Amino acid sequence: MVEQAVVENTTAGVTAEPGAGVERSDAEPVNKKERRSLYQKRIKIYPKLARGAFRRWKWVIMAVTLSIYYLTPWIRWDRGPNAPDQAVLIDFPSRRFYFFFIEIWPQEVYYLTGLLILAAIGLFLITSLAGRVWCGYTCPQTVWTDLFIAVERLIQGDRAARIRMDKAPWGAEKVVRKVATQVAWIIIAVCTGGAWVFYFADAPTLAGDLLAFQAPPVAYITIGVLTFTTYLLGGFAREQVCTYMCPWPRIQGGLLDEESLVIAYDEDRGEPRGARKKHSHPTDLGDCVACNQCVAVCPMGIDIRDGQQLECITCGLCIDACNSVMDKVGLPRNLISYSTLANVERVRAGEKPKLRLIRLRTVVYSGLIALVGLIMLFTLITRADLDLNILHDRNPLFVTLSDGSIRNGFTVKIINKAHHERTFRLELEGLPGAQLSVVGAGTDPDALTVESDTLASFRVFATVPRETLTDAAVDVEFRVVDRDSGSAITHGSVFRGPQ
Amino acid sequence: MADNKEVDQISGTETTGHEWDGIKELNTPLPRWWLWTFYATCLWALAYWIVMPAWPLISSHTTGLIGYSSRAQLAKSVAEAREAQGAFLDRIEAASLEQIVADQELLEFAMAGGGSAFAVNCSQCHGSGAAGFVGYPNLNDDDWIWGGDLEAISHTIHFGIRSDHDETRFNEMPAYGRDELLTPEEINDVAEYVLSLSGSGEDAAAAARGEVTFAEQCSACHMESGEGDYELGAPNLTDAIWLYGGDKAAVVDTIANSRAGMMPAWTGRLDEATIKQLAIYVHSLGGGE
């Protein structure tokens, strides 16, 4: 039994231990700091399937995030007859962004800015509280890589089988399984690119067009590019994206502090590590049984027992792996666990570990989120479905008419964001005696018609007798009143005359 | 080289053998991704030479496999633009000015097309905003010498004023001072009278004397009232708009030396559709009748 416990099968990478039930692995942390040379070719990682709470969480989160991504374009949302019925739609040709009950025009792109600010600060807050949970659970790179590994495992088997297959000479079974894996990956990649384009056009129509080869070339090109990147990043680049391409791990160094959650190996309890007989607890050894399962399951190819590392995305799979082993050998769980650097010190000093969620930075981040969120909510609730813009003619600034009166030309732009045609009355305030006229046959300043969901532009002349004009430049205000609802909007301008 | 490789003690990297004041250059290999990108760009460049026009020859250049030419590309897009405008231009050619104005789609096209034709052909004298200069009429106002309805504007653009075209608009005001038809005193009196028509004269007695001279010399064209006549191209002297200035010196100068601005005839230079668009554009500036 002693012999068995320490044997490591170097050809298959693992050995099953029927007696003790603890699998041992010779898995190498290929991305360990010492091995991380800049000119090192990628060493393939064969992550083993972990079982436990974190693995279950990751399945659930994968299902939820992928469902959101794939299903959102198919949600319908009735906006009436003059607008698309897709809940989330980025409509470039007509320059609109639809998000359920919100409709954003190009000039309101600051809502997008606000959303991005919220997302960024939200990420800061989450990171300072719970560390790299974004990386470990919800980042698309993590989710898709996890999905690709799951497919690989389904077709080629778990870690040991995959290593064995890669080492084996090419044969019928290897060809079939390898090709099947690639085909499955490509199908997922095509679906990923395919779902993306549905956000930019009516999904059912576009789906039909795509299948009939009638869709615009840009749709096929977009799908092609995203298929390629998904296939490459999910199938081959994997952990290298996080380690070498992504700036976020670097930024996070500045967001984490000693009270943030990280995955920590309890060195004081675990070391010195070593193999042992089942249920025997030699006093010269710590709790780590040196089974290497934490390394075998790691998708990033590191050994968590080396301490905090840039590569670690805190997915928690090593916790699952270690806890399974601890249960089998009859030792307490959480030799590897979510902890904070401060708690490691507290435990060393004999204090009770505690979670300090309320800290200066979390308070500041929360405050900022609340502030930006409230500002956005306020502007969203109070925004009108009517907008007005007035452009004064630049050349000529004013025209003297034959009776001596002064005329100014304006371009009046009325945006009707409502989904029905509206008629407006145009008024000019601040200039008594001014007469308004609109260029165009039969256009009356008292009845300017703007079609649903459009911007209409009118050439407007304002004329006043010379003697009522007191200054070379008089501040005026244009006012547009909805003739039915009475809702109004104003826009300032200036009326110019001779010195 | 292979046998006298020198390896840097600290980094463990081979050096190039170059040394400056004891500082040695490491022979660090290029990052693989960089190298492959570099090879790819070399291949791209080679392919580009073959596929696209690239090398200058003595009197021409290599044309490339796909025969691309930016000049042909431009000609194509110009032809496409012409094609797109063609339908509108045909309709404008066929329609009368009134019909164009009544059709919102054609009106917008004509105003845009007229605006760009104006910028190219007319703005040199009338200004980019059509506000004119001294001697060059402001087309935004409602004061017209030869008439401001669509037909009159179109006629003026077609044949010009004192142009070399047979049908040109033409009139001539005598130079009363230069040709000694009136004495300086009489000219002064007429100027006072003309200014008084728009309420800006200063010398009522002179204006009263000038009224007699005006009736004899000027009213044939400018009418008894001084309101002028489109048929004769006689300006309205009672309004607030002065083509050559409305102060007394300018009016005296006009009476003494006459004025004779000219505008070229555009028929033959511009096609019918463009002239129609110009007429509609000018008419839409705010003073059209």
> pLDDT value at position A20?
52
- Contact yes or no for B143 and A39 at CB 8 A: no
Whether B72 and chain A come into contact, CB under 8 Å, resolves to no
Query: How much is the pLDDT for B4?
Result: 66
Nearest residue in B to A399, CA atom: B141
| Residue in A with minimal Cα distance to B30 | A39
Partners of residue A393 in chain B, C-beta under 8 Å: 129
Token reading at A76: 């319908």
Question: Is A139 in a helix, a strand, or coil?
Answer: coil
Residue A87 within a domain: no
For domain B184-257, give the CATH number.
1.10.760.10
Q: Closest to A402 (Cβ–Cβ): which among B127, B129, B236?
A: B236
B-chain CB neighbours of A399 within 8 Å are: 131, 138, 140-141, 286-287
pLDDT of residue B5: 75
Nearest to A21 by CA among A330, A328, A332, A333: A328
B122 touches chain A (CB under 8 A): no
Q: Which residues of chain A have pLDDT under 50?
A: 1-19
Please tell me whether residues A391 and A378 are part of one structural domain. no
What CATH number is attached to the domain comprising A441? 2.60.40.10
Among partner residues A393, A396, A402, which is closest to B241 by beta-carbon distance?
Answer: A402
Chain B hits for A441, CB-CB cut-off 8 Å, are 101-102, 104, 107
- Rounded to whole angstroms, the Cα distance separating A317 from A325 reads 13
**Is A441's CB within 8 Å of B286's CB?**
no
Same domain (yes/no): A403, A468: yes
Residue A225 sits in the same domain as residue A172:
yes
User: Which 3 state secondary structure label does DSSP give B273?
Assistant: helix
Rounded Cα distance between B248 and B235, Å, is 17
Are A375 and A449 within one domain?
no
Nearest CA in chain B to A244: B33
Is A461 in CB contact (< 8 Å) with chain B?
yes
From first CA to last CA, the distance across chain A in angstroms is 107
A228 in a structural domain? yes
Residues A159 and A279 in one domain: yes
Domain-terminating residue out of A363, A383, A403: A383
Residue A103, domain member (yes or no): no
Substitution target in B241, B280, B282, B283 with the highest count of A β-carbons within 10 Å is B241
Structure tokens at A78: 């009735």
Q: How many CB pairs under 8 A join A and B?
A: 59
- Ranges of chain B whose pLDDT falls below 50: 1
- From the CA of B127, how many Å to the nearest CA of chain A? 9
Instruction: Measure CB to CB from residue B240 to each of A38, A396, A400 and give the nearest one.
Output: A400
Q: Could you give the CA distance from residue B177 to residue B189 in angstroms, rounded to a whole number?
A: 13
Tell me: the pLDDT tens digits for A395-436? 899 999 998 899 999 999 999 988 889 999 999 999 988 999
Domain assignment of residue A94, yes or no:
no
**Domain interval for residue A421:** 386-496
Which among A381, A430, A377 is positioned nearest to A408, based on CA atoms?
A430
Phi, psi at residue A485, to the nearest 5°? -90, -20
Is A175 found in the same domain as A131?
yes
ipTM: 0.78
> B127 contacts in A (CB within 8 Å)?
395-396
- How far B129 CA sits from the closest chain A CA (Å)? 5
8 A C-beta contact, residue B260 and residue B244: no
- A95 in a structural domain: no
pLDDT at B78: 93
Query: Is B131 close to A396, i.e. CB distance below 8 A?
Result: yes
Residue A221 shares a structural domain with residue A130: yes
Answer whether A395 sits within 8 Å of B239, measured CB to CB: no
Return the pLDDT at A3.
35
What does the DSSP assignment read for B78-101? HHHHHHHHHHHHHHHHHS-HHHHH
Q: Please check whether residue A81 lies inside any domain of the structure.
A: no
The residue of chain A nearest to residue B33, with distances taken between CA atoms, is A39
- Decide if A458 is inside a domain: yes
Per-residue tokens: A460:
């407007």
Among candidate residues A355, A383, A411, the one where a domain is terminated = A383
In chain A, the number of structural domains is: 2
**A496 contacts on B by Cβ (under 8 Å):** none
- On whether residue A15 sits in a domain, the answer given is yes
Interface test with B, best of A37, A395, A399 (most B CBs within 10 A): A399
Clarify whether residues A297 and A442 are in a common domain: no
pLDDT the model gives residue B235: 94
A163 lies in the same domain as A57: yes
pLDDT of residue B264: 96
Q: Is A78 an interface residue toward B (CB < 8 Å)?
A: no
Q: Which amino acid is at A444?
A: D
Sketch the domain layout of chain B as residue ranges. Answer: 2-51, 72-166+264-284, 184-257
Residue B46 Cα distances to A195, B21, B143, angstroms: 37, 41, 67
Are both A313 and A417 inside the same structural domain? no
A332, A359, A383 - which closes a domain: A383
Eight-state DSSP code of residue A200: G
Residues of A in contact with B287 (CB under 8 A): 399, 401
Answer yes or no: same fold for B72-166+264-284 and B184-257: yes
For residues A15 and A8, the answer to whether their CB atoms sit within 8 Å is yes
Claim to verify: residue A432 and residue A374 sit in the same structural domain: no
B107–A399 C-beta distance less than 8 A: no
Alpha carbons within 13 A on the beta-carbon side of B169: 25
User: CA angle A167-A168-A172, nearest 5°?
Assistant: 140
In this structure, the answer to whether residues A368 and A480 fall within a common structural domain is no
Residue A435, chain B, CB below 8 Å: the answer is no
Class of domain B72-166+264-284 as given by CATH: mainly alpha
- The alpha carbon dihedral of A361, A364, A366, A369 has a sign of negative
Q: How far apart are the first and last CA of chain B?
A: 93
